[in-house]
Amino acid sequence: MTTVDPVTQEIIEGKLTATVDEMGVVMARTSMSPVIYEVLDFACGLLTHTGELVAQMNGITLFTGTFGTQVKSLIALYGEDLEDGDILLTNDPYSGGTHACDFAIVKPIFFDGRILAYAINVAHYLDVGGSVPGSLAPNAVSVFQEGLRLPGVKVVRSDRFSGEILRIIRENVRLPDIAIGDLTAQVATVRVAARRMDELARKYGVDVVEAAFDHLLTVSEKQARAAIGALPDGTYEAEDIIDGDGVTTDPIAVRVAVTIAGDQLTADFTGCPPAVAGPINCAAGALQSAVRTIFKALVAPQAPSNEGWFRPLTVVAPRGSVFTAEKPSPTGWYYEGSVHASELVWKALAGLMPERFSAGSYTSLCVVYLAGKDAGGQPFIHIEPQHGGWGASEDADGANALIALTDGDTYNYSVEVIEARFPLLVRRYALNVEGGSGAGRRRGGFGVIRDYEVLEDGASAYCSFGRTQTPPWGVEGGAPGTPNLLQVEDRDGLIRNFGREPDIALKRGDLVRIITGGGGGWGEAGAREAESVRRDVENGYITKEEAKSRYGFEERVAV
């Protein structure tokens, strides 16, 4: 066995981190979609020759568990039929991925005639065809309504793009120039990774680099097992409700049992319902990511991610469930379903590790698709995640206007970019203090209100908001948070309310108002300090009347 001295190990690990970060910089600077270069809806990683993640940039949280499953599915598909200069593409949700809009570009990195590593870049495309602009029909009942799927094709052979694959993409998406531009940017990033890994192998040798990979994974595994082993053995359960699937508004009851036994943790989703008709299902790869997100927060939230951390984790779920959907179940809005898997594990562990986990958050990304034509007659598609209120923790109020659990290191658009690229004006962007948040000894964070004025006739919108009926949960007597809501207000002041809606006709002058909820509270509201309530009144977060009704502090909140 090759051994690596500590200094060399540290240098190689630093090189891995620098490489995935460089991939991210290249992607953000060269992509054509604002959902990529503004929102940063992508992530990059490096994996061993067997498909185990060794480095990943900060990015979409929900890609934490899909990289390995996607690369391993491609290894199984191609076997030995890979050559230096090949680059693969897959966007198949049933082969370890998420939904068809997330294109995974994977490059096997060869050195001295054999594969040393794999580089991967997964990015969200504005449109991949399907029944609606943006491809994510909230009422889709089949994956065949959700656009083009390319489940493991060679988009590059011998370092040359496949003309056939590019033509297929161009002819099946609504914004072909943007799609090909984003694809080219992804390919550039994995080529950067190949150059950096070549430099590493030439300097230290393949045996040392591979030994460094093994050491990194082994150390992470040991640290994860130690963190789990320090927790009390037992089974911790949680239940939740998903508010409809896009086809019906029927509540969907989901549950988990988290078992800690020694240095192992098992998350068992047995008992969750079968895949539903609508597209809030997620496939098994997304479920793995959803659970890994919380597991990582439990064992080592600040450490760089790699496969070693997750070796003590087992995820159990019957095939064909709402969290392990199979073809042809739709998965377009998978993040609206999979986030409930994350929240279930989070909720089960909140009391066990209060220093790491807060009360429930607004959960849903509250994404709205706005589409139509601009003043010049050119088509546009605007997609944007929204921030919301997170739950209170044992020692602090919840965070205001923070991105949802699924998205990690991503952002919404700046107002200037929206108004420059789309026929929209942002009329308001403020904390949603009107809706409030969960009262408690520590109160939940506040969501946001964001108003878009539509500047052209003939536009339309669709959405799929979660937590519109079932609010974020409180802990230890804390009050629940507040729900999410989409409103459309016309020039006459008529307001329509929506949650999961497949087609909202818009006209010039309409206001599209996104209202995200506040997080749950922690502890009894009566235990909140008078000074904290007084400060909330002074800051305009609550009124004097609310201070009295929620906290009983009428006389102590004079301002």
Tell which residue, 408, 466, 411, 410, has the closest CA to residue 64: 408
Q: What is the pLDDT of residue 2?
A: 82
> Does 428 fall in a domain?
yes
Among candidate residues 449, 446, 385, the one with its CA nearest the CA of residue 411: 385
Tell whether 235 is covered by a domain. no
Residue 129 lies in a domain: yes
Residue 557: its pLDDT value, please? 44
Within a domain: 392: yes
Q: Phi then psi for 490, rounded to 5 degrees?
A: -90, 180
Residue 85 lies in a domain: yes
3-class SS at 198? helix
- pTM equals 0.95
pLDDT in tens, 51-101: 999 999 987 777 878 899 999 999 999 999 999 999 999 999 999 999 999
Residue that finishes a domain, picked among 222, 253, 287: 222
User: Closest Cα to residue 516, out of 396, 384, 410, 361?
Assistant: 361
Residue 237 lies in a domain: no
Domain count for the chain, please give it.
2
Q: Which of 110, 121, 148 is nearest to 26 (CA)?
A: 121
- Could you say which of 168, 199, 222 is where a domain stops? 222
Domain that holds residue 519: 358-528
Q: Is residue 245 part of a domain?
A: no
Residue 467 has pLDDT above 60, yes or no: yes
The answer to the question of residue 38 being in a domain is yes
Q: How far apart are CA 549 and CA 559, in angstroms?
A: 17
Contact 265, 314 (CB under 8 A): yes
- Asked if residue 228 lies in contact with residue 296, where contact means CB atoms within 8 angstroms, the answer is no
pLDDT for 59: 78
Strand partners, 119: 46, 107
Question: How large is the average pLDDT for residues 329-333?
Answer: 98
**pLDDT for 522-541, tens place per residue?**
999 999 999 999 999 999 99
3 state DSSP class of 111:
strand
pLDDT in tens, 265-309: 999 999 999 999 999 999 999 999 999 999 999 999 999 999 999
pLDDT for residue 409: 81
Q: Does the pLDDT of residue 390 top 80, yes or no?
A: yes
Select from 222, 240, 274 the last residue of a domain.
222
Strands 500-505 vs 234-243: parallel, antiparallel or unpaired:
unpaired
